[in-house]
């Protein structure tokens, strides 16, 4: 498995750097930032080159994002930080849940790792098709609702015991929902980036995407010990509601913009 990672590394080293189309507004904005940094630092020589690099590679991507999205930038960052909170929170307790419920490791592997894998791929493909047809925000909303709904199936499963048919249905629904939500969320994050700063901005978004959810997920075991699996999955579903509300807000703003166009 470790050796297979060489495929991606070698491919990255062999292919050419993609061309970047940078708008004149972005270049002008970057030059202003570099100029201001130079005036503040009063540095020369090597220090000046470092200041120029830092302004272009670190400061400019942040300024660019807030410049393009204005007041909505904070709302968007809140969405990025909360969208995957439900599935990340529940995922850390998946295997303990299956084992505590009475399923064997063979049953878990056959259904979760094989059946679930192909449905995740199917969900990702379906998510991409739906984004092309209906746009990102609507499918982002659909993905969030499906993830919450599939979590509720885990709560139902916790009351039924080791029922293989229900396990297959629950994992299948969760994998399909997760595939749709993941593919549309990647499309959403990609749409937020400026081609001049794709790497820095995407790294920021992907880090923020898992930061808060993983902090919350660290307390999942405590919630299960205190309240049981049924209430844990209800709790994990509720955690996804803020992201749904933010998407509805952004959809409303988008509709208002479209209605104001001549």
Instruction: Quote the pTM value.
Output: 0.83
pLDDT of residue 149: 92
Rg value, the chain, Cα: 22
Residue 6 pLDDT exceeds 90: yes
pLDDT of residue 49: 73
- Who has greater pLDDT, 18 or 244? 244
Model confidence pLDDT, tens digit, residues 48-65? 777 777 777 778 888 888
Domain range list for the chain: 26-69, 71-257
Mean pLDDT across the chain = 87
- Who has greater pLDDT, 57 or 206? 206
Residue 10 pLDDT exceeds 80: yes
When pLDDT is cut at 50, 70 and 90, the band that residue 253 belongs to is confident
When pLDDT is cut at 50, 70 and 90, the band that residue 34 belongs to is low
Domain 71-257, CATH number (from 3.30.499.10, 1.20.1250.20, 3.40.47.10, 1.10.10.10): 1.20.1250.20
Residue 167 pLDDT exceeds 80: yes
pLDDT of residue 109: 87
Model confidence pLDDT, tens digit, residues 60-95? 888 888 888 888 999 999 999 999 999 899 988 989
Model confidence pLDDT, tens digit, residues 110-154? 888 788 889 999 999 999 999 999 999 999 999 999 999 998 999
Contact 54, 33 (CB under 8 A): no
> Average pLDDT, stretch 152-165?
92
């Amino acid at each position: 498995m470790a050796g297979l990672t060489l495929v991606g590394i070698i491919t990255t080293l062999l292919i050419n750097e993609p061309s970047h189309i940078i708008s004149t507004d972005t270049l002008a904005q970057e030059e202003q930032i570099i100029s201001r940094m130079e005036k503040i630092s009063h540095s020369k020589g090597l220090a000046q080159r470092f200041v120029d690099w830092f302004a272009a590679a670190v400061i400019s991507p942040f300024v660019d994002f807030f410049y393009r999205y204005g007041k909505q930038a904070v709302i968007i960052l809140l969405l990025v930080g909360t969208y995957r909170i439900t599935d990340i929170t529940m995922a850390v307790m998946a295997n303990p849940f299956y084992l505590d419920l009475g399923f064997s490791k063979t049953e878990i592997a056959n259904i979760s790792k094989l059946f679930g894998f192909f449905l995740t791929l199917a969900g990702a493909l379906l998510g991409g098709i739906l984004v092309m047809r209906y746009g990102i925000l609507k499918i982002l909303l659909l993905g969030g609702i499906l993830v919450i709904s599939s979590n509720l199936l885990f709560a139902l499963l916790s009351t039924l015991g080791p029922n293989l048919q229900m396990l297959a249905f629950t994992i299948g629904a969760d994998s399909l929902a997760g595939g749709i939500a993941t593919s549309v969320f990647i499309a959403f994050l990609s749409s937020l980036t400026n081609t001049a700063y794709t790497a820095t901005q995407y790294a920021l978004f992907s880090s923020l995407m898992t930061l808060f959810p993983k902090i919350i997920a660290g307390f999942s075991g405590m919630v299960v010990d205190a309240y049981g699996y049924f209430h844990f999955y209800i709790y994990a579903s509720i955690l996804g509601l803020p992201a749904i509300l933010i998407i509805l807000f952004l959809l409303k703003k988008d509709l208002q913009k479209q209605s104001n166009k001549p």
